A = this chain, B = another copy of it.
Amino acid sequence: MTTIQQLGTPTALIDTQRMQRNIQRMQARMTALGMSFRPHVKTTKSLPVVQEQIAAGAQGITVSTLKEAEQFFEAGVTDILYAVGMVPSKLPQALGLRQRGCDLKIVTDNAAAAREICNFGSAHGEVFEVWIEIDTDGHRSGIKPEDDSLLEVARVLQDAGMQMGGVMTHAGSSYDCDNHAALLAISELERAGAVRAAQRLREADLPCPVVSIGSTPTALTAEHLEGVTEVRAGVYVFFDLVMHNVGVCTTDDIALSVLTTVIGHQTEKGWAIVDAGWMAMSRDRGTQKQKHDFGFGQVCTEDGKVLEGYTLSGANQEHGILSHAGEPDRSIVERFPIGTRLRILPNHACATGAQHPEYQAVLPDGNTETWPRFYGW
């Protein structure tokens, strides 16, 4: 039995009670909206977390790499969407997964890649299930709902006998919102764009069983999801300071933090130096352009109470600079003596988690448990 007080620093902590609350909140919402829910596991890459999401009602998972697909398939998850555009060089690995019984769905947004998928599938006697990526908000990949190439790509797949799984979109620009009205607007843009793409396919006698949308902000905002069949979201399981600024959680919902120790001070500057630098927090400065800039993270006590105004204002590889906004705190040495242990809430849970080989899950009884995570490709 290990408690937080016995852990070395820096360490990534999961508050499992907050995590459970976040999982239940999202799943209850999806159930009420009549949606299948397919969590994006790139946030945690950790089996114990994903098992809780599935136990709560998730149907299948979303992955960002084929390594995630391999790892979760080996652990018994079979319904997997690889949500990054397929390229020829990755088809052999996708084929291998399907041949071993994984119900892997792949994604494309262009005719060139679609043709490669068809040629490779035909050559290997494999009917790939392919979803077409739709661009509903202009932030990254996908075909615009009204674009001619939507029907072209679908026909390439259909003519070669591939399985048309449906359409999927991700309104990543929802991360730029900071009020409910803006979130509602982007949620409707995401829903309507995906539904319109599906409608165009169906009107052209092309099958489109699945209409998949999602991001944490839109999933938690949409008032109805008419025409949609499933939702995907990832970071909601931990939340973070970016999501706090977007307006879909409070700091009390953030389930991931980094445990750290005070190792020094610069008294006249009001700095405490801690052993959580960017290697522990990540270089993510996602709150930099938001309404509240938290530097490299919000400082809390060891037991998780937010210390208002104290942030990691700077970070080197293994050094963090802790300071108070505004006037330097001249009593920084007395407030945070050498050896003081603190928790830091992260800007971006996906990026911070990725810096750690494992999480320490803090259980309701106060004991901690090691939850491994994996990385690489």
Contacts and interface: CB of A to CB of B under 8 A. Distances in A.
A366 interface: no
Interface string A266-291: 10000001010011101111000000
Given A172-B316, A318-B64, A357-B376, A275 B87 contact: yes
A88 B339 CA distance: 7
Contacts of A109: 264
Contact of A377 (B11, B285, B354): B11
A261 B112 CA distance: 14
A264 B85 contact: yes
Give the copy number: 2
Contacts of A358: 376
A45 to B, nearest CB: 10
B116 A338 contact: yes
A265 interface: yes
A3 interface: no
Contacts of A317: 42, 64, 350
B319 A84 contact: yes
Nearest to A357: B376
A280 B376 CA distance: 8
Given A110-B264, A112-B338, A279-B375, 17 more contacts: A8-B89, A8-B90, A8-B377, A11-B377, A64-B279, A64-B318, A65-B318, A87-B263, A88-B339, A110-B265, A113-B338, A140-B321, A141-B273, A280-B377, A283-B283, A283-B348, A283-B351
Closest 4 CB pairs of A and B: A357-B376, A283-B283, A85-B263, A64-B318
26 contacts: A8-B377, A11-B377, A42-B317, A42-B318, A64-B279, A64-B317, A64-B318, A84-B275, A84-B318, A84-B319, A87-B263, A89-B261, A110-B338, A112-B337, A113-B264, A116-B338, A140-B273, A140-B319, A172-B316, A279-B375, A282-B282, A283-B283, A317-B350, A354-B355, A355-B375, A357-B376
